[in-house]
Chains A and B, each alone.
Chain A
Amino acid sequence: MVHIIEGALPLWECAGGYAITFLIIALILGIKRIRLEDIPTISLVSIIFFTASFIHFSIGPSSVHPLFNGIVGITLGPFSYIGIMIALLLQAVLAGHGGISTLGVNTIDMGLPAIIAYFIFKLCIKRLSNLKQVALLCSGLGALTVLLTLVLTIIALVIADPAYLIPAIALVVWHGPIVVIETVITGIVISKILKVRPSIFIRVYGESITKVLK
């Protein structure tokens, strides 16, 4: 549901979506310089987001799928926005999932919650002392990113046509299982990656993150 398709939004909203997305990307690149060494990590982690959309199942009259933008956000930090945009572009071009005209809006819907998850994780990680607490925090962030994504998608759809408010809100209920799935998987995946490969997180959060491994 969160991938808004071609033709669902008016032209001015699509243009606005692109403008905001490019502004966010410019801000990210202005604040934090992307290094060549970051590109393989961004690509590989974005695969998680890209492939998650292919695992879909019917609930009610709709079809839902996991997103894992929480995992991408926590792992990549602000660069998750760029990774998500590339993944969305590939999904639109290869699989007709989403659309080229709606790419800007879709990137905001799914990329912003990822960045928010990164900031919350960055704020909270200093106060955590072990992996169990990290897993719990990431589980919460997994659920939060899905809910934020749904809220942003509903806002985008309602701006286009206020008549979609009620059916769009009903979709939140159908996404209940997705929230549960992402809650569990985000907690497990992040704590496991942190345990096995802390260097990925050290790049984003600094050496201080290793204290949760002790």
Chain B
Amino acid sequence: MFTEKVLPKYLNNSFFSKILTIFTITTLVVLIVLSPAVHAHAIRAKILNTTEYVWLKVKVYFPGTGPAKNIPVNIYSPECKEYTLCPPECTPFMITKTDSDGYVEIMVPKVEGIWIVAAIADPAHRVCKRINISKTGVMITGSESIEMPEPLLALAGIGYFLGIAGIAMIIISKRRTK
């Protein structure tokens, strides 16, 4: 009933069709701009605990597939000012490895500035976390991300593609009606 009678009637209405097209395009653009930076595949390091001694417990894992076992983790002191490359092109302050559960414990001196923790599983799977140690406390910056279930992310992407296909089909339908 709806698809056979109601929908074609509205789609043929040029004003409704225009509004629908503009609305769909705007929604797609706004959603893509505002979408959260979530990581589905790259290795992610999580600072599980920080204390006044700056003791860091880092978990490195591939979201969805489990821990990144026995992979190198490099720690760079605030002397390294390279923030664009991961890992930075500096001499590491410390080189360590994750255990069989993907964990690594790091104790760094309380030197103020930005410390970088870089985990490298292979040339294409690496992650860098910046740990800002200041007088006020310890702050983690860098690629911290929002946890979202993977099926939801896949569904969101499929939604965008269906949206693009939908817009094209609306325009095709409109042209054919004309």
Contact = CB atoms under 8 A, between A and B. Distances in A.
B35 A43 contact: no
B145 interface: yes
Given A40-B165, A47-B161, A58-B62, A5 B42 contact: yes
Interface of B: 32, 35, 37-42, 62, 64-66, 68-71, 84-86, 121-128, 143, 145, 150-151, 153-154, 156-158, 160-162, 164-165, 168-169, 171-172, 175
A157 B123 contact: yes
A17 B156 CA distance: 27
B153 A57 contact: no
Nearest to B40: A95
Contact of A6 (B35, B70, B71, B86): B86
A94 B157 contact: yes
5 contacts: A3-B124, A95-B41, A153-B124, A168-B122, A170-B122
Interface of A: 1-8, 10-11, 36-37, 39-40, 43-44, 46-47, 50-51, 53-54, 56-58, 61-63, 65, 86-87, 90-91, 93-97, 153, 157, 161, 164, 167-168, 170-171
Contact of A96 (B32, B38, B85, B86): B38
Given A8-B123, A8-B126, A36 B40 contact: no
Nearest to B33: A93
B41 A63 contact: yes
Given A93-B32, A171-B122, A7 B39 contact: no
